[in-house]
Structure 1
Amino acid sequence: MIKLLNIIKFFCCYLWSLINFTRILIINIIFILLISLLCYYIYNVNHRKNINNKILRKNNQVLEINFNENFDNESFYKNNLIFKLFNIFSSKKNNDPIINIVNAINFAKKDKNIHGIILKLHNLNIYDIPNLRYIGKYLNAFKASGKKIYAISDMYDQNQYYLASFANKVFLLPYGHVKLYGLNFKKFFIKNFLKNLKIQTHVFRVGQYKSAVESVLRKDMSNDDKIVMNQLINNLWDDYLTTISINRQLTKEEIFPTDENFLISLKKSHGNLALFALQNKLVDKISNNNDFEKEMIQNFGLDKIKNTYNKININDYIKLYIDNGIQKNNGNIAVITIDGIMMYGKNGSDIITNKINKVYRNPKIKGLILKINSPGGDILAAKAIYNELILLKKIHKPIVVIMGKMAASGAYWISTIADFVIADPVSLTGSIGIFSVVYNISDILDLVGIKKDGINISDRFNNSINEKLSSIEKKIMSINIKTGYDEFIYLVSKDRNLPIEKVKKIANGMVILGKDAKKYGLVDDLGDFDSAIIKIAQLTKIKKVKLQWINVNTFSPLDYFIKSNNFIISNLIQNYINFIFNKNFSLLNNEKFLNSEKIYSLYVI
């Protein structure tokens, strides 16, 4: 018996020693790994810096901008798997990618080592004209300094070609083409689709041209909407062609001929689209990558180490020259971006309001530049952000709004609070109106033999998706929509110092361009981000503006679509199928599933 106990004791002691040894070994391995990673990080950063410093000391370099990359100081770490796990050591993003690009171009203009720029436009990931125009302004300034710009791509879509037009010489690969097709505005109309699915639709709106709801009310586009949108896209296209015409020194007809003339020219080019582009002076040379490289070697010399032309990548250039000038949490002017569809709650407006509140509480920050690129969204989100911005006005921290591609409807609601509003000539803004769409699937339930019945004290705020909308609920929603519209008009009148009657004339839900918005008094000036910096300096009386970029995870379109009417249809189809095949009936007892007040009935502006 004693021997057995000794054996057990020995075994337990051995097991414990083994466990303890394993524990210590694992801890030591982790510790050594962390130390190794830290040493590797320090060596890698310094090594890269030393190498790149040597590269930048070379003369007659060309700055290569590959638009398939991320233009921020995280690019190196994003591509490094190890540092994805230990990103606490890596630099944090303190700037906007577009701002990084223009800062690099501006610095290169004065850099004696940089003699040119190459725009590699194969995978351009910038899609709006205001940003492209802003980059183009700095490219023109670079050219004015006497330095050359070269653009190359396998093919050019309209955005790629817009930016390429700022170059001194445009190259096209032999199999490529320039794809100019104008603008269009088309959408699906689902009235019959909803009818076939037996889905009832209740629409509440104020604003004759608030055409977002036409897709559920009509089978086709209304004449009023066609007239408005036709005028809008023609103005946008004319602005596009005007810029190309100036840059390429061609007439608008030469850039975008009629269909008849296009086909005549294409036949002369034997159907070769690359040759067509060359013969019509849309590009300057057809060249493969090898020939292009040889020409760039002739212009900028040979890098014997890399066996290519003497170049510096823009990300390396930003990292070494631009990042050093970025303010690290000690700026005097905050910059906050609102990008995407606005939604209310912790995953939407709360993120923005929290950032605005930090600006409010930070005594070092004297003003705010609000970059807006949003079509609008939930009225509650707009109100929440607007009310938070009021706090800044109360403590005399000026607000300057700079509109991007779009700042319409609810996004314009937010803009009205600003001390100064700047738009691009083709920013889409206005759309002063409000609507709500409520869907009902009670007829689907009837079809499969399901009926909801019972008693309740009141039908108020009980717009469930599986019950018909009561008369009192319809009246409540109509009143709410009208009240929201009146509040919108009042805010525009008060904040923009416009007579209420003048506001009513343009408060019909119509989308207008930035240049027209200035005529109506909806914005103060036309310009870009540089204009916003100049204005905030004037309002705050700060001689040297130091920007502090307050980065946020802005409104997620996916989260919004899950809760918005546009995405409801797919959910309804799935629910419809479930009901038909008698599956997932347990969902009917789920209160969250049936709560259409939060999910299916959004007041959108």
Structure 2
Amino acid sequence: MNQPAPAVPPALPSRRNPIVAFFVGLWDVMNFTRRLIMNIVFFGLLLLFLAILLVIVGKGGIEPLQSRTTLVIAPEGRIVEQFTKDAAMRALAKATGDDGAEEVQLRDLLRAIKAAKEDGNVERVLLDVDKLQPSGYASLNEVARALADLRASGKQIVAFSEGLSQWQYLLAAQANEVYLDPMGSVVLEGMGRYRQYYRQALQDKLGVDVHLFRVGEYKSAAEPYILDAASKEAKEADLFWMGDIWQRYLGDIARLRKTTPQQLAAGIDTLPEGVAAAGGDLAKFALQQKLVDGLKTREEVEDLLAERGVADKDSETGFRSVDFNGYLARLDASRLPLDKRPQVAIVVAAGEITGGEEPPGKIGGESTAALLREARDDDDVKAVVLRVDSPGGEVFASEQIRREVVKLKEAGKPVVVSMGDLAASGGYWISMNADRIYADASTVSGSIGIFGLIPNITRTLDKVGVHTDGVGTTRFAGAFDISRPLDPGVGQLIQSVIDKGYADFTGKVAAARKKSVEQVDEVGRGRVWSGAQAKERGLVDELGGLDSAIADAAARAKLGQADKYRVRYVEQMISPLQQLFGGFAQSRIGAAWLKDSSFARALLLKSMPETEAQLRFVESAVKDKSGQPVKALAYCFCGF
């Protein structure tokens, strides 16, 4: 009898080899990553395409300016020599409402005002400086002179404000008529310079001993780290140069408002009584002091301009107008694509001077020297203007830039320096060898001096029971370690380096300015001067702005009248991606997308650099870079 075949049990699923499972999983991850990257690239290319399209359409769709147009100049942010962020980041900051990051280039303000003077379609200017942030008086004076020139040409300037600070008022006062909101104010308070002093906090509270090595009793840059209050020399020097700038300010305002500096000064001295007499009404007090011509709301001013100009119901202002950025776009669109005229090149040196490569808005010893070298190698460049706005910084980086100035002159190309708000210490170092130095009367300059700063945290560590010990093959092995007590021999070494740095500084100034070292030392020793005071002491050749420096450079190169040469800024190139994203972000669609995008806000927060303060500079400067335990600094904390 046949036996039934035994039932075959169902096959169990085979267990995958762990190694095989690992590689299969790895493949799945790689495959997912590949698809993700392809999607990112696709949408990135789509964004770039939209940016290109918007830029092309935007450039081609600029309407010509109509006759009897009012140019609205309402600068937002600080006036700077050079943007510290690229176009994409500026547009991103604008779109996401980061007002603190906004900047306006001095050159753009001047360009728009000068073009409006010659533009037959611009009938008048509405000046609104309410969003102008604190800026240096030299820059403000440049803009004020351009506005005064526009006004002298016969074109009316009307200024309106809801509240004017002292620096804003310097520009508003240039107008034919100044109107203030009935709830606004204009407060002139004078100039002051106050700093925090950290000795007690550092030495007594934290146990940090700061060793300062310097030459010059007026070199007060690092005093806050070793004193509890300003030294007598620092107060004397600060009050001297600030007093000169303040008296010039009062004189300019008095001339414009048909009063006297004494009356303005008396109004400030009796401010509490004057405001009380006006019933606490700051706007009324400003009117009584002749600082404004009338009290009007914004709507009333717009109605006034509609009556004087051309009413336009479709315009946000109610009258035919073009805003500052729109006017600049028209000026850019009208530029000739190819201009074969010989060039006066402008190289901007703005910010702190540090070693290596730095982005715009800072001065790198290598990057700024490279720009000067580019101008030297360009056959179309016949002369160079070095525009300096710097408190100084590292001595070696300053020397790198100065050497390039000398090489430009040796190549037969004149170099003229135009000082902006600040050209002190290292800022003067890079300027001194120019064929001619121009400064505004309110420029802050000088501060010829050197210092070094060495913190020591031995007592700080001792407070928490931490001690440093070990061995070295020589007396000075590890001697620059800030967690070990400072050896007196190290202090002597550092002071020798600082003394030598000061001798180099004064010696180079003496050779460049054709003076004796003793004469330079008399105006040096770290002392700060206003531009006018610097001229009186032979540190500056002429008082004047950027235009004067350009004309001088062109004359030295024998380029003829202004229409015979071209002025070009030599700057670091931005990438095509930055250009495209900047164009997209500045468009209406891009701005709307960025404004509502949480991704854009997060990107902005991660990408925008932090504001750098004086403490950050000192922290960076004392770091050991490139094996340099001793570093001489030519820096001036003399901004205000």
TM range (shorter): 0.7 to 0.9
Q: After TM superposition, where is structure 1 displaced by more than 4 Å over at least 4 residues in a row?
A: 22-32, 69-81, 326-331, 552-557, 565-568, 594-602
Deviation at 1:507, TM superposition (A): 1.9
Out of 626, 633, 637, the position equivalent to 1:603 is 633
Out of 314, 318, 340, the position equivalent to 2:351 is 340
Deviation at 1:266, TM superposition (A): 1.7
The separation in 1 between residues aligned to 2:436 and 2:467, in whole angstroms, is 55
1:253 corresponds in structure 2 to 262
Deviation at 1:448, TM superposition (A): 2.7
Deviation track 1:558-582 (CA, whole Å, cap 9, x = no partner) reads: 39854515998xxxxxxxxxxxxxx
The separation in 2 between residues aligned to 1:159 and 1:124, in whole angstroms, is 9
1:383 corresponds in structure 2 to 399
Please tell me whether residue 180 in structure 1 is matched to residue 188 in structure 2.
Answer: yes
The separation in 1 between residues aligned to 2:406 and 2:298, in whole angstroms, is 55
Deviation at 1:526, TM superposition (A): 0.7
Out of 372, 378, 384, the position equivalent to 1:356 is 372
1:87 corresponds in structure 2 to none
User: What residue identity is the alignment partner of 1:450?
Assistant: V
Deviation at 1:284, TM superposition (A): 0.9
Deviation track 1:436-469 (CA, whole Å, cap 9, x = no partner) reads: 1111111222333322222222344731111112
2:540 corresponds in structure 1 to 523
1:343-492 maps to which residues of 2 (within 5 A)?
343-347=354-358, 348-460=364-476, 462-492=479-509
Instruction: Name the SS of the counterpart of 2:612 in structure 1.
Output: helix
Instruction: Name the SS of the counterpart of 1:309 in structure 2.
Output: coil
Instruction: Name the SS of the counterpart of 2:357 in structure 1.
Output: coil
CA separation of 1:187 and 1:299: change in aligned 2, threshold 3 A: same
Deviation at 1:597, TM superposition (A): 7.4
Instruction: Name the SS of the counterpart of 1:274 in structure 2.
Output: helix
Q: Tell me if the contact between 1:104 and 1:322 (Cα under 8 Å) persists in the aligned partners.
A: no
Instruction: Name the SS of the counterpart of 2:493 in structure 1.
Output: helix
The separation in 1 between residues aligned to 2:197 and 2:87, in whole angstroms, is 45
Q: Tell me if the contact between 1:459 and 1:472 (Cα under 8 Å) persists in the aligned partners.
A: no
Deviation track 1:124-157 (CA, whole Å, cap 9, x = no partner) reads: 1361111211111121121122221011111000
The separation in 2 between residues aligned to 1:179 and 1:600, in whole angstroms, is 47
1:97-136 maps to which residues of 2 (within 5 A)?
97-125=105-133, 127-136=135-144
2:169 corresponds in structure 1 to 161
Deviation at 1:595, TM superposition (A): 8.2
The separation in 1 between residues aligned to 2:44 and 2:534, in whole angstroms, is 61
Count, aligned residues? 551
Please tell me whether residue 510 in structure 1 is matched to residue 510 in structure 2.
Answer: no
Deviation track 1:75-132 (CA, whole Å, cap 9, x = no partner) reads: 9977877x99xxxxxxxxxx98222222222222222221110001110136111121
1:7 corresponds in structure 2 to none
Q: Tell me if the contact between 1:465 and 1:595 (Cα under 8 Å) persists in the aligned partners.
A: no
CA separation of 1:70 and 1:218: change in aligned 2, threshold 3 A: closer
CA separation of 1:380 and 1:38: change in aligned 2, threshold 3 A: closer
Out of 196, 201, 204, the position equivalent to 1:193 is 201
Deviation at 1:279, TM superposition (A): 1.9
1:262 corresponds in structure 2 to 271
The separation in 1 between residues aligned to 2:404 and 2:498, in whole angstroms, is 23
The separation in 1 between residues aligned to 2:632 and 2:48, in whole angstroms, is 53
The separation in 2 between residues aligned to 1:27 and 1:436, in whole angstroms, is 49
Mean Cα displacement is larger for which, 339-348 or 327-336? 327-336
Out of 123, 136, 149, the position equivalent to 2:157 is 149
The separation in 1 between residues aligned to 2:214 and 2:45, in whole angstroms, is 65
The separation in 1 between residues aligned to 2:629 and 2:257, in whole angstroms, is 50
Please tell me whether residue 310 in structure 1 is matched to residue 320 in structure 2.
Answer: yes
2:593 corresponds in structure 1 to none
CA separation of 1:563 and 1:105: change in aligned 2, threshold 3 A: closer
The separation in 1 between residues aligned to 2:618 and 2:573, in whole angstroms, is 19
The separation in 2 between residues aligned to 1:235 and 1:23, in whole angstroms, is 63
CA separation of 1:596 and 1:221: change in aligned 2, threshold 3 A: farther
CA separation of 1:208 and 1:32: change in aligned 2, threshold 3 A: closer
CA separation of 1:258 and 1:226: change in aligned 2, threshold 3 A: farther
The separation in 2 between residues aligned to 1:165 and 1:453, in whole angstroms, is 65
The separation in 1 between residues aligned to 2:40 and 2:225, in whole angstroms, is 62
The separation in 1 between residues aligned to 2:509 and 2:37, in whole angstroms, is 67
1:187-226 maps to which residues of 2 (within 5 A)?
187-196=195-204, 197-226=206-235
The separation in 2 between residues aligned to 1:493 and 1:227, in whole angstroms, is 25
In structure 2, the gaps of 5 or more residues are 1-12, 14-23, 96-102, 359-363, 575-608, 636-640
User: What residue identity is the alignment partner of 1:564?
Assistant: V
Instruction: Name the SS of the counterpart of 2:374 in structure 1.
Output: helix
CA separation of 1:450 and 1:161: change in aligned 2, threshold 3 A: same
Please tell me whether residue 320 in structure 1 is matched to residue 340 in structure 2.
Answer: no
The separation in 2 between residues aligned to 1:75 and 1:270, in whole angstroms, is 48
1:214-293 maps to which residues of 2 (within 5 A)?
214-257=223-266, 261-293=270-302
1:574 corresponds in structure 2 to none
User: What residue identity is the alignment partner of 1:387?
Assistant: R
Q: Tell me if the contact between 1:379 and 1:410 (Cα under 8 Å) persists in the aligned partners.
A: yes
The separation in 2 between residues aligned to 1:326 and 1:515, in whole angstroms, is 39
In structure 1, the gaps of 5 or more residues are 5-11, 85-94, 569-591
The separation in 1 between residues aligned to 2:559 and 2:337, in whole angstroms, is 16
The separation in 1 between residues aligned to 2:55 and 2:195, in whole angstroms, is 53
Deviation at 1:35, TM superposition (A): 8.9
Instruction: Name the SS of the counterpart of 2:539 in structure 1.
Output: coil
The separation in 2 between residues aligned to 1:98 and 1:562, in whole angstroms, is 26
User: What residue identity is the alignment partner of 2:345?
Assistant: A
TM-score when normalising by structure 1: 0.82
Instruction: Name the SS of the counterpart of 1:558 in structure 2.
Output: coil
CA separation of 1:255 and 1:326: change in aligned 2, threshold 3 A: farther
CA separation of 1:328 and 1:478: change in aligned 2, threshold 3 A: farther
Deviation track 1:199-236 (CA, whole Å, cap 9, x = no partner) reads: 12211110121112322332222223222222222111
The separation in 2 between residues aligned to 1:35 and 1:220, in whole angstroms, is 55
Q: Tell me if the contact between 2:447 and 2:524 (Cα under 8 Å) persists in the aligned partners.
A: yes
The separation in 2 between residues aligned to 1:48 and 1:70, in whole angstroms, is 30
Mean Cα displacement is larger for which, 532-541 or 215-224? 215-224
The separation in 1 between residues aligned to 2:471 and 2:41, in whole angstroms, is 67
The separation in 1 between residues aligned to 2:489 and 2:50, in whole angstroms, is 66
CA RMSD in angstroms comes to 3.7
Larger relative contact order (CA 8 Å, sep ≥ 6): 2
Q: Tell me if the contact between 1:432 and 1:508 (Cα under 8 Å) persists in the aligned partners.
A: yes
Instruction: Name the SS of the counterpart of 2:454 in structure 1.
Output: strand
Mean Cα displacement is larger for which, 445-454 or 392-401? 445-454
User: What residue identity is the alignment partner of 2:495?
Assistant: S
Q: Tell me if the contact between 1:102 and 1:135 (Cα under 8 Å) persists in the aligned partners.
A: yes
Q: Tell me if the contact between 2:71 and 2:125 (Cα under 8 Å) persists in the aligned partners.
A: yes
Q: Tell me if the contact between 2:218 and 2:233 (Cα under 8 Å) persists in the aligned partners.
A: yes
Instruction: Name the SS of the counterpart of 1:316 in structure 2.
Output: helix
User: What residue identity is the alignment partner of 1:426?
Assistant: S
Deviation at 1:481, TM superposition (A): 0.6
Mean Cα displacement is larger for which, 501-510 or 215-224? 215-224
Q: Tell me if the contact between 2:245 and 2:441 (Cα under 8 Å) persists in the aligned partners.
A: no
The separation in 1 between residues aligned to 2:225 and 2:43, in whole angstroms, is 59
Instruction: Name the SS of the counterpart of 2:139 in structure 1.
Output: helix
Mean Cα displacement is larger for which, 258-267 or 183-192? 258-267
The separation in 1 between residues aligned to 2:51 and 2:520, in whole angstroms, is 61
1:582 corresponds in structure 2 to none
